[in-house]
């Protein structure tokens, strides 16, 4: 059980778990928490070695009015923006703070973050934020949201916290010192966050240091694997199973990422994709250029080791790729490979059949390395016919067109293009339908909440659970902002109240200052362009002076549409013509009249609705 012991000696050789001074974090290793800075990446403090008493939550009887509330702020209606709030009495914990990439109909938006307006005024009740792993849809919003919530303690494994730290520095240099971290040193570590008892379990995913999370309260035990899969033939160790989780106290509430519920095909084993990549590298007639995700560190690790084994040089290119590998090297997850890794500037110093390039941008992003290589805009690399070009990644939904364009271009440049449609060169990190069936049978939850997917996937996951023998009242499909309450001895209920989960859009340095109205204007300009009308009028009489000036952008080419432009000028003059020259000009009235009547005139003439921007200059 958890033991309070303030007399345990501390010294500099022990790892300091960071919390703010007003909170106490207890672990099964009987640790007194101090408010100390986050250790520098690559220089972790020495591990604290102390007895590990058996973890037995010591819950007092729950007050009759208390309960466990679960509220997803994102991740229930989209892929990304994963963030879930757990509230028990006056204690709050949060799992993940992910970002969502902007849709095609959001011009100018960089990404979207969860809306934490519902937590305003409760910042002091937040006992900690747990991060399941280091993918951007789980940590991408952390620098923004942690700052907004007063920098509560963050909990995660070493690589995950290091990636958050690096992202924090990118967001605001010098603010990493504000982070208060609790490092999960081992999978069997237990911690207490207020009244919440937290433990962890191993999961398979496509990034190092991914963990599943167990949240225990008197009202229920939440089991959340984060992102996960079941690797039937792992590269190392045995198959990860979840039977032990069935022994956790009831009611067990399984919150399961269900992204692959509609994927019925057998998942490509890692050994298969890795074997194919190694074969391609060893037999390549020229250079090998591999496009993959920056977070695929296990794949990069294996490719580095194999390239070193057969005497090839490796170039890593792409900011995210190089930074993630650097962090992993500093933490000891990836060897230095001093004689294998070379900078891209030295690519011409080695024979082409001795070069392997691993880079980011296989999703067709215009400024990413892979796209710049394909488009001939890379400073050091141009694709040749002898190059073997490999797409070692799945296509993120919404990027299909961009990826297809890149593929078509590469096929014009290289005779050796490899992608998943013709060879198994990528293993996904998400479970398929059989994996979901397996984990449901192994854990045997009392309640099932499908999460982290589009709404239709969550509904399909519910249907799957019902086919597997679950009752209707055991499965809940929540929307973003829904609050479900669990109380000991009672049926869970979805409350009528709902948290605000409106989009908070990030545009450059602006956070949340782009509204739907602004997006609507941007879409209008993107669809039909804009026309600026500049009218000069007499300030005293309101009479128009000279001809109005017109500027067209994205609407019509003015030289090729002189007749329309002249008719528009005449229409403006008619609109502005003062019927009462004895009164002063009313700017707003004139602007609104130009906007409305010229807009209708142009639609009647062209069947398009450009944005009309009137500018009135009074002289």
> Which pair of structure tokens corresponds to residue 311?
């005497």
Q: Hey, which residues does 100 pair with through a beta bridge? A: 112
455 Cβ neighbours under 8 A, 6+ residues apart: 76, 77, 477, 479
CA nearest 92: which of 64, 73, 113? 73
Distance of CA 432 to the CA centre of its chain: 21
> Which pair of structure tokens corresponds to residue 162?
């290091």
Q: Provide the strand spans (E) within 18-125.
A: 26-27, 68-74, 83-88, 91-95, 100-101, 111-113
Contact assessment for residue 544 and residue 569, using Cβ atoms and an 8 Å cutoff: no
Distance (Å) of CA 163 to CA 86, 214, 320: 24, 23, 10
Contact assessment for residue 135 and residue 99, using Cβ atoms and an 8 Å cutoff: no
User: Quick one: CA dihedral 19, 20, 25, 31, positive or negative?
Assistant: positive
> Which pair of structure tokens corresponds to residue 9?
């000696």
CA nearest 146: which of 158, 131, 159, 132? 131
DSSP state of 44: P
CA distance 482 to 70: 8
Q: What is the pLDDT of residue 46?
A: 36
CATH architecture of structural domain 529-618: Roll (3.10)
CA nearest 613: which of 521, 495, 527? 521
Distance (Å) of CA 177 to CA 33, 38, 97, 166, 297: 17, 7, 19, 12, 26
CATH 3.40.50.10710 correct for 270-418: yes
Ranges for all domains in the chain classified under CATH 3.60.15.10: 26-47+62-264+430-507
528 Cβ neighbours under 8 A, 6+ residues apart: 554, 555, 608, 609, 610, 611
Neighbours of 590 (CB within 10 A): 20
Helix (H) or strand (E) holding 534: strand 530-537
CA distance 183 to 189: 10
∠ CA 549-550-551, nearest 5°, is: 130
Residue ranges of the chain with pLDDT lower than 50? 1-56, 58
* Per-residue burial over 400-433, b = 16 or more CB atoms within 10 Å of its CB, e = otherwise: eebbeebbebbeebbebbbbbeebebbbbbbbbb
CA distance 139 to 181: 14
| Residue 439: CA count within 13 A, CB half-sphere | 28
CA distance 160 to 132: 8
Distance (Å) of CA 108 to CA 94, 415, 516: 29, 36, 13
Number of H helices and E strands in the chain, helices first, is 13, 27
Ranges for all domains in the chain classified under CATH 3.40.50.10710: 270-418
561 Cβ neighbours under 8 A, 6+ residues apart: none
Q: Provide the strand spans (E) within 263-363.
A: 288-291, 313-317, 355-359
Ranges for all domains in the chain classified under CATH 3.10.20.580: 529-618
CA distance 444 to 442: 6
DSSP state of 559: G
Q: What is the pLDDT of residue 450?
A: 95
Q: What is the pLDDT of residue 234?
A: 77
Q: What is the pLDDT of residue 370?
A: 83
Domain 26-47+62-264+430-507: CATH class, spelled out: alpha beta
């Amino acid at each position: 059980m958890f033991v309070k012991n303030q007399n345990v000696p501390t010294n500099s050789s022990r790892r300091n778990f960071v919390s703010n001074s007003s909170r106490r974090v207890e672990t099964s290793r009987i640790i007194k928490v101090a408010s100390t800075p986050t250790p520098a990446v690559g220089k972790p403090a020495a591990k604290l070695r102390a007895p590990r008493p058996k973890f037995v939550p010591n819950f007092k009887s729950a007050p009759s009015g208390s309960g466990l509330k679960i509220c997803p702020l994102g991740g229930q209606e989209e892929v990304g923006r994963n963030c879930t709030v757990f509230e028990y009495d006056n204690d709050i914990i949060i799992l993940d703070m992910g970002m969502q990439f902007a849709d095609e109909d959001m011009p100018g938006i960089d990404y979207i973050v969860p809306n934490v307006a519902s937590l305003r005024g409760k910042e002091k009740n937040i006992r900690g934020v747990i991060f399941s792993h280091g993918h951007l849809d789980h940590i991408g919003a952390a620098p923004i949201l942690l700052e907004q919530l007063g920098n509560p303690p963050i909990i995660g494994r070493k690589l995950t916290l290091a990636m958050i730290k690096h992202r924090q520095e990118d967001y605001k240099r010098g603010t990493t010192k504000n982070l208060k971290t609790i490092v999960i040193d081992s999978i069997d570590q237990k911690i207490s966050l207020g009244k919440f008892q937290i433990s962890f379990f191993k999961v398979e995913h496509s990034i190092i240091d991914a963990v599943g999370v167990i949240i225990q309260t008197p009202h229920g035990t939440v089991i959340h694997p984060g992102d996960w899969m079941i690797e039937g033939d792992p590269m190392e160790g045995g198959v990860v199973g979840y039977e032990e989780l069935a022994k956790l106290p009831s009611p067990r509430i399984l919150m399961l990422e269900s992204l692959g519920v509609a994927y019925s095909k057998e998942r490509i084993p890692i050994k298969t994709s890795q074997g194919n990549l190694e074969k391609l590298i060893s037999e390549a007639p020229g250079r090998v250029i591999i496009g993959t995700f920056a977070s695929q560190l296990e794949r990069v690790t294996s490719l580095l080791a194999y390239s070193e084994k057969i005497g090839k040089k490796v170039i890593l290119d792409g900011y995210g790729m190089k930074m993630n590998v650097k962090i992993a090297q500093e933490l000891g997850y990836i060897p230095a490979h001093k004689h294998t890794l070379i900078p891209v500037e030295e690519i011409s110093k080695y024979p082409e059949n001795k070069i392997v390039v691993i880079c980011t941008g296989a999703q067709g992003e215009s400024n990413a390395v892979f796209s710049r290589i394909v488009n001939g805009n890379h400073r050091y690399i141009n694709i040749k016919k002898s190059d073997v070009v490999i797409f070692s990644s799945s296509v993120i939904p919404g990027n299909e067109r961009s990826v297809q364009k890149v593929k078509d271009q590469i096929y014009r440049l290289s005779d050796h293009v490899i992608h998943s449609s013709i060879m198994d060169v990528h293993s996904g990190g998400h479970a398929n339908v059989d994996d979901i069936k397996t984990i449901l049978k192994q854990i045997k939850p009392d309640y099932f909440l499908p999460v982290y997917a589009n709404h239709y996937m969550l509904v399909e996951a519910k249907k799957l659970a019902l086919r597997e023998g679950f009752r209707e009242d055991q499965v809940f499909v929540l929307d973003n902002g829904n609050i479900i309450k669990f109380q000991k001895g009672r049926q869970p209920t979805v409350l009528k109240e709902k948290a605000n989960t409106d989009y908070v859009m990030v545009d450059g340095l602006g956070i949340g200052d782009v509204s739907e109205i602004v997006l609507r204007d941007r879409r209008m300009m993107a669809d039909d362009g804009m026309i600026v009308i500049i009218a000069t009028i007499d300030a005293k009489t309101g009479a128009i002076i000279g001809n109005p000036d017109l500027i067209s952008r994205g609407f019509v080419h003015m030289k090729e549409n002189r007749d329309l432009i002249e008719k528009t000028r005449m229409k403006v003059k008619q609109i502005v013509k003062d019927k009462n020259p004895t009164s002063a000009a009313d700017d707003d009235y004139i602007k609104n009249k130009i906007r409305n009547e010229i807009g209708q005139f142009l639609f009647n003439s062209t069947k398009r609705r450009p944005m009309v921007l009137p500018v009135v200059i009074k002289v």
